[in-house]
Chains A and B, each alone.
Chain A
Amino acid sequence: MFIWTLGVALAFNEMLGPDGQVRAPYAGVAKWLESVNVEQLDRRRAEAELFYRRGGITFAVYGDAQGEERIIPFDIIPRVLAGSEWKLLAKGLEQRVKTLNLYLADIYSKQESLKAGIVPEELVWQNPAFRPEMTGVTVPKDIYVHIAGVDVVRIDANDFYVLEDNARTPSGVSYMLGGREICYRLMADLYGAHKVAPIEHYPDDLIATLSSVAPQSAGESPNVVILTPGQFNSAYYEHSFLADKMGIELVEGRDLFIRDDQVYMRTTEGAKRVDVIYRRIDDDFLDPLVFRPDSMLGVPGLFNAYAKGNVALANAIGTGAADDKAIYAHMPDLVKFFLGEEPILKNVPTWCCRKADDLAYVLEHLAELVVKEVHGSGGYGMLVGPQADKAQIAKFRELLKANPANYIAQPTLSLSSCPSFVEQGVAPRHVDLRPFVLTGGNGVKIVPGGLTRVALREGSLVVNSSQGGGTKDTWVIDL
């Protein structure tokens, strides 16, 4: 049923239902849109852009020759979800992230899901994101994924599909919070007319989650820090933003050192013990003594300190073994296996090209499918069949034949659309949603909503910020 991209005209429109009537959550927005003109909208957009520029909220685009920093376009028209819609979605997210954590705890200990044949062994043993070093390491409270950014899309009034389970170092939460602040300041009329569920407490939830996994020896107020690769990282703004909001130190690898398998941070008052590290550095770079020896970003000896339970890392090392696109196909079965529940969120049908039958199908239907690298992210290295030319399709055909196990394929989904302010005025554009799911010793917390990404180019299905997408504020409202 999603074999073809339907185009924005035929996709589920979140404001106007299939009958052309305004859907209940959008009643206020629809009325407001009637009352404003393009000049007014344009002025607010300019103000929003100024807000981002002043705040220095930028990101660097990989693959851009200039490596310049850009502002992600912010679309001032909010996306609205009814409280009842959110409730179901949140339940599905909690179920999904619980499963990710149970699966990771399993593959790094008893491997029962492998023995039961739920996941083929080679997807674990030969998965580059699986870290054999983590086998037998106990992590606090068996939580591996403290912060997940699960990308979901909507197909119709009732169905949400998971696109990706981002369980490594998902970013974007600063845009979620920034978007809300803009709406609060610049859209006070519209905002005030709705009962919007708050999200501003996300940094409080995050610090509570991080503190909850501190080693017991840390005492009452554990020292939590954010470890960044540095200011040249595309998400550096977010690292410093979160450190600031949580009132904790932002550190680089060179600010930390290990003594007696304990992590310390250099301060002007001498060495201070570190209990929890919210690390925004990939596994490969964390510790040159265990992972990439040429890494200058990490902390030599950190792994041993971690393995001994003297410091907590969020997320844990090796979480990528749960979120790659080959494991994705097995997530519904894993939900049933670990929780004994039916999956609430659906999976997009996925062809795993490492299987001969699937590969044959994909090669025959390249023009209709989206092909992705198993470990790709950010919209890089993917083929959107319906929008690709012959040369691109021919190139992917060769890539697939050369290394089939590196690819999966999915039908092009007809992503739902929301009214967006674009050059032509107000028009529907495809959106997805990245809610941020926090898991700590006190359970799962999700602030209502998340980061809505919008494909501002007409007809574009790629909402990644690195590929010309924008963001919107996401409102969960009580009707």
Chain B
Amino acid sequence: MRIKVEHRTTYLYDEPPTSIVQILRLTPRNHEGLQVRNWRIVLDHDAHLAPGEDAFGNTIHTLTLNRALDDLTVSVEGEVETLDTGGVLTGAAERFPPGLYLRDTPLTHADDAIKTFAKGVAGKREVLDSLHALMGALHDGMAVDEDAPATDAARAFAAKTVGGRDLTHVFIAAARSLAIPARFVSGYMLREDQVQQKSGHAWAEAHVPGLGWVGFDAANALSPTEAHIRVAMGLDYLGAAPVRGSRNGGAAEHLQVSLTVGQARRQQQN
């Protein structure tokens, strides 16, 4: 399936900041389920955009601006060709062994409630069954509200109403508490009924012996399909965040996001 993404983020500042630094994880890499056809990041100001790669193999761009401006727009435009691989990830860059993804992080720390929940759901099941059961139980037991404030796994689990980001954190915390390596994926998702979207999408990957890394999208209770565009991966949101930024000055900042994810029309060949 060919999918077209246009993702524009505009930052409006009450006062012009004197400098801005951002690390962007906004560029997907190829794997068996995804081929990048074209992809670019466009800035509306003459800022420095240095490409690179982080330790997890994500493509990053570092944006630096050292002069005052009232607003800044970062646009991502691209097309990818996707394939349904049954949720199994193959052909992606792997820099670390699965054991690394058992690390505890503040955002994915499993408290007693999550540990008990995970144990109860998994019971005596095999790894893959446990993960599907976890995904199902979280989908049924938690309400997703993209306006819920961002928090961490333990607080999100207690709140029961969470954003997709923190639902993913709960899934990761629960999987790791069962000694199953798990990680955070940020990206986009094509929704048939919704070309205009409010934000990108997040899901988890967990390591299953014999299969490798398998995706679990608890918000939709399914493993990633050809509708999912995998962009970046990390131990938690912070490691896979589309944008991590910092600025000097600027008083308050206002965000305007416009995102369209749609099926690209194939060019007519005459």
Tell me the A residues contacting B by CB distance below 8 Å.
Answer: 121-122, 125-126, 128, 132-137, 257-261, 288-290, 293, 300-301, 304, 307-308
Contacts and interface: CB of A to CB of B under 8 A. Distances in A.
Interface string B99-118: 11011100000000000000
Contact of A136 (B48, B62, B95, B245): B95
Contacts of A135: 55, 95-96
A307 B100 CA distance: 21
A125 B96 contact: yes
Given A289-B22, A301-B62, A304-B62, 4 more contacts: A125-B97, A126-B100, A136-B55, A260-B48
Given A132-B55, A300-B246, A258 B64 contact: yes
A261 B51 CA distance: 11
Interface string B233-267: 00100100000111010000000000000000000
B56 A132 contact: yes
B55 A125 contact: no
B103 A260 contact: no
21 contacts: A122-B102, A125-B97, A125-B103, A126-B99, A126-B100, A126-B102, A128-B104, A132-B56, A133-B55, A137-B55, A258-B21, A260-B48, A260-B64, A261-B62, A288-B246, A289-B23, A289-B246, A290-B23, A301-B246, A304-B52, A304-B62
B220 interface: no
A258 B64 CA distance: 8
Nearest to B53: A136
Interface string B12-35: 000000010111000000000000
B196 interface: no
B195 interface: no
The interface residues of chain A, by DSSP majority, are classed as loop
A240 B95 CA distance: 40
A127 to B, nearest CB: 9
B70 interface: no
B21 A301 contact: yes
Given A125-B103, A293-B238, A293-B244, A132 B50 contact: no
Among B64, B96, B245, which residue has the most Cβ atoms of chain A within 10 A? B64
A125 B95 CA distance: 12
Give the 3 A-B CB pairs with smallest separation, nearest first: A300-B246, A301-B21, A125-B100
B54 interface: yes
A259 B50 CA distance: 11
B66 interface: yes
Contacts of B244: 288-290, 293
B244 to A, nearest CB: 5
Interface string B36-48: 0000000000001
A258 B63 CA distance: 11
A257 B19 contact: yes
A290 B103 CA distance: 16
A308 B52 CA distance: 10
Nearest to B105: A128
Contacts of A128: 103-104
Nearest to A271: B66
Given A289-B244, A304-B23, A125 B66 contact: no
B47 to A, nearest CB: 11
A133 B48 contact: no
A121 B238 contact: no
A413 to B, nearest CB: 32
Interface string B47-80: 0101010111000001010100000000000000
Nearest to A254: B248
Contact of A121 (B22, B56, B99): B99
A401 to B, nearest CB: 14
Contacts of A125: 96-97, 99-100, 102-103
A259 B62 contact: no
B108 to A, nearest CB: 13
A121 B246 contact: no
Among A132, A136, A137, which residue has the most Cβ atoms of chain B within 10 A? A132
Contacts of A121: 97, 99
Nearest to B246: A300
Contacts of A257: 19, 66, 248
Contacts of B19: 257
A135 B66 CA distance: 29
B176 to A, nearest CB: 10
Contacts of B56: 132
Contact of B50 (A133, A260, A300): A260
Contacts of A308: 52
Contacts of B95: 135-136
A263 to B, nearest CB: 12
A259 B62 CA distance: 11
A304 B154 CA distance: 31
B248 A126 contact: no
A290 B52 CA distance: 14
A304 to B, nearest CB: 5
Contacts of B55: 132-137
A178 B103 CA distance: 42
Contacts of B64: 258-261, 301
A258 B248 CA distance: 11
Contact of B103 (A126, A259, A307): A126
A330 B118 CA distance: 34
Nearest to A308: B52
A307 B62 CA distance: 13
Contacts of A259: 48, 64, 66
B104 A126 contact: yes
Contacts of A304: 23, 50, 52, 62
B52 A132 contact: no
B99 A122 contact: yes
Among B22, B56, B62, which residue has the most Cβ atoms of chain A within 10 A? B62
Nearest to A111: B97
Nearest to A133: B55
Contact of B96 (A132, A258, A288, A301): A132
Contacts of B238: 293
